[in-house]
Structure 1
Amino acid sequence: MEMKKTFRWMVGIVALMGAVVVTSCSDDENPEPEPDKSFVVDRDDLKGEITEGEVVLESGTYKLTGALVVKEGAKLVIKAGVKVEATEVAADQHSQVRYIGISRGAQIDVQGTASNPVVFTSQKQTPGAWGGLVLCGAAPINKGETAKSEVGDLDYGGSNVNDNSGSVKYLRIEYSGFAYNSEKEFNGLSLFGVGKGTVIENVQVHEGSDDGFEWFGGTVDAKNLIVTNYAAEVGDDLFDWTEGWNGNGENWYGIRTNNGNRGIEADNNGNNHTATPISNPTIKNLTLIGNGDAGSPEPQAMKLRVGTKAIFENVVLANWATGFDVEHDEGISFVGDGSLKATGVRFVNVGTKAKGKKTDGSAADVSAIFTENANATGAGAGTDVPEWAKGWTVGLD
């Protein structure tokens, strides 16, 4: 009995020594991987392609001197309080435009807070000074199985409804909207086929020269969005969607005092009005404030056309020539069956509440698109600045 115990004890010692030797050899032959050095962060010259791993912008200001593109499999993390400032570029230097692009299969993580937001801005503080933020995902679109983004030439679209392009929280995007030409222009935040796994919350686009937010298909939800346009340079729409966006929106506040375009411009597909998936978001708690009758061709709170559906709940529309403008036979039919509908709408200084036009140009009665509620609160406080927007935004004092 004693010999068996001794034998077992000796075997244990030998096994332990072997493990120590093996572990030691393993450490020598397979050291811990070093940090990725394929992308070098330069605060004064931030640009290029992030092709692998995770790149973190820790604190302070970074000068964006060209396109910064995050490629598939890589991730860009931006800590609270970071400022990314695009340096000045001539309007005709298209190849040098500054923007941040997140490729399909890549991710961004903007970690702003209400007391310490992340800011994307420009050295030249005028609308259209730089590109903005472009997110691309693998969620469904109706332009084809996949497509190329209109700016950045990045792939987007796919079949993954829950695709995850990361998280964007408490971000201000200022002076975006760089234009290649009259037909090709950056927005503040462009969402190309972005999936529902992505988080978009508490984002402001301030003084952009094109749309504040635009969805190109996808399924991503978006909460607590703000667009502010005051500059003499005329912007486009505050919010815009096309190509089959099927997400949810909650707490949107848009205001313009310049002679810009619409509060919302909503499409399904301009080449095929019945292309699927059909654009069909649900937007709850919405305030759109315009500039009265000023603008071109006619200031409209919402232009709903080429086959989009949508459900709006708790809406305040103020200072527009027209509230709801519905175009094309598909949209007229959606008003009829209730799949294009706004409930609980408060009109403030709106000349024409609703008007419709069929595909052949003849007028259509679309008064059924809305029901009224004189006590609607919209984004939270009627035409006033909602509480959730205070503290991390600009231009709302």
Structure 2
Amino acid sequence: MKKSVLTLFAVASLSFAALTVSCSDDDKGTPSNPSSFVLDRDNLKGNINDGEVILESGTYKLTGKLVVNAGAKLTIKPGVIIEATDVAPGTSDIRYIAISQDAEINVQGSSSNPVVMTSTTKAPGKWGGLVICGRAPINKGASAQAEVGDNLTYGGTETGDSSGSIKFLRVEYSGYSYNQDKEFNGISFFGVGNGTTVENVQIYEGSDDGFEFFGGTVNTKNLVVTNINPSAVGDDLFDWTEGWNGSNENWYGKRSNAGNRGIEADNNSNNHLATPISFPIIKNLTLVGAGPDDTSGEAQAMKLRVGTKAKFDNVVLANWKTGFDVQHDESVGYVGTGDLKATNVKFVNVTTKSKGTGTTAGTTPDVSAIYTESTTATGAGNGENTPTWAQGWTLGL
């Protein structure tokens, strides 16, 4: 009997050891579906065409474009740094990361250990940023090609399409410009579906828009954009077009340089009534500008135009020349129907709360019904100051 007990104990010990090894292998990031992609920490670029590639720890040098193609997955563990190297003069080997339709990204950062995508030279516009293409609806056509990257296809009919999960990511110094009309953003969402998770993400010191949504249905939570550098002007903090419909919570944007607006919002510049019509919902929003004396000419907290709809609630707008700038008859009309509306708005040091401009030159409709005021609005959580949820993993706040 004693022998049997000892035997059972030995078997149990071996089983536990085997289990421990198995868990340890998982912790090391061994992919369940290995990729044929050859991973080189000092030369990260190319096409991931199959399986899962896992970036484990430390720094990876992004030396060109990294494209994750259909059926493949890129997983990035907490604390990983992806550093885009400088583009050699006279070359066009742009550094950026793109997630194609039917591919996935899985960013596993944490508040104490975020994933960071940055550049060797710490200045705005030094690399392309992150581009994600999904199969959710757009109003530019049944599908389209992304304006940056390798003309990747985006758009479709799958509102619940998933491009993966992004949690606790900081994107720094993005916004590389091919020319005046073709620039990367911090993160570009092209037809991304609401099966995708986007939470706790900051765009820091980009030279173009922070987050831009080209159609799609993706939802977001806890987004931050910070533009400070006066010598490399950023564009808008948040931007949408082409029929984006998403539900969002906790956006905080701060611009102290001579960049553009807090939000630039469009439906479709070629057809203001193109469907699906842009109609996001944003709850808990703070936009901080450079001050009402800003001479950049674009000192609007929000420019809402070419047929966009939107609903905002619990909003703080601080240090802007204009709060709500509504343009074109279609968007002006949505103010009257309540489809373009901001409730519980607190204005802090804003010269003109609302301004309307019709499609016909010289028409200035009254759009003051776009907002209702509240002296107790908290915006993203702490008025014009850094919200608690953004502390610890962000920069420049």
Same fold (TM over 0.5): yes
* Corresponding residue for residue 186 of structure 2: 188
Residue 388 of structure 1 aligns to a residue whose secondary structure is: helix
Residue 126 of structure 2 aligns to a residue whose secondary structure is: coil
The separation in 1 between residues aligned to 2:108 and 2:297, in whole angstroms, is 40
Q: Is 2:304–2:326's contact at 8 Å kept on the other side of the alignment?
A: yes
Q: Aligned pair 1:144/2:141, yes or no?
A: yes
Q: Is 2:36–2:51's contact at 8 Å kept on the other side of the alignment?
A: no
Deviations 1:209-235 (CA, angstroms, capped at 9, x unpaired): 000000000000010000000001111
Q: 1:90 Cα deviation (Å)?
A: 4.2
Q: Aligned pair 1:300/2:300, yes or no?
A: yes
Q: 1:208 Cα deviation (Å)?
A: 0.2
The separation in 2 between residues aligned to 1:335 and 1:301, in whole angstroms, is 17
Letter in 2 for 1:254: G
C-alpha change, 1:161 and 1:36, in structure 2 (3 Å) is same
Q: 1:296 Cα deviation (Å)?
A: 2.5
Pick one of 39, 42, 66 that aligns with 1:41. Answer: 39
C-alpha change, 1:37 and 1:378, in structure 2 (3 Å) is closer
* Corresponding residue for residue 132 of structure 1: 129
* Corresponding residue for residue 234 of structure 1: 233
Q: Aligned pair 1:208/2:209, yes or no?
A: no
* Corresponding residue for residue 171 of structure 1: 169
Q: Is 2:316–2:379's contact at 8 Å kept on the other side of the alignment?
A: yes
Q: 1:249 Cα deviation (Å)?
A: 1.3
Q: Aligned pair 1:261/2:260, yes or no?
A: yes
Q: What percentage of aligned pairs have identical amino acids?
A: 67
* Corresponding residue for residue 374 of structure 1: 375
C-alpha change, 1:148 and 1:79, in structure 2 (3 Å) is same
* Corresponding residue for residue 322 of structure 1: 322
Q: 1:395 Cα deviation (Å)?
A: 1.1
Q: 1:297 Cα deviation (Å)?
A: 1.9
Q: 1:93 Cα deviation (Å)?
A: 2.9
C-alpha change, 1:56 and 1:91, in structure 2 (3 Å) is same
Q: Is 1:261–1:295's contact at 8 Å kept on the other side of the alignment?
A: no
* Corresponding residue for residue 12 of structure 1: none
* Corresponding residue for residue 366 of structure 2: 365
Q: 1:183 Cα deviation (Å)?
A: 0.5
Q: Aligned pair 1:247/2:246, yes or no?
A: yes
Residue 336 of structure 1 aligns to a residue whose secondary structure is: helix
Deviations 1:87-120 (CA, angstroms, capped at 9, x unpaired): 01146533x0100000011000000001110000
Residue 289 of structure 2 aligns to a residue whose secondary structure is: strand
* Corresponding residue for residue 28 of structure 2: none
The separation in 1 between residues aligned to 2:175 and 2:396, in whole angstroms, is 18
Q: Aligned pair 1:113/2:110, yes or no?
A: yes
The separation in 1 between residues aligned to 2:324 and 2:284, in whole angstroms, is 16
Letter in 2 for 1:320: W
Deviations 1:321-373 (CA, angstroms, capped at 9, x unpaired): 00000000001110000000000000001010001011002111000000000
Give the gaps of 5 or more residues in structure 2: 1-30
Task: Tell me how many residue pairs correspond in the alignment.
Answer: 363
**Greater Rg by CA:** 1
The separation in 2 between residues aligned to 1:364 and 1:37, in whole angstroms, is 58
Q: Is 2:35–2:52's contact at 8 Å kept on the other side of the alignment?
A: no
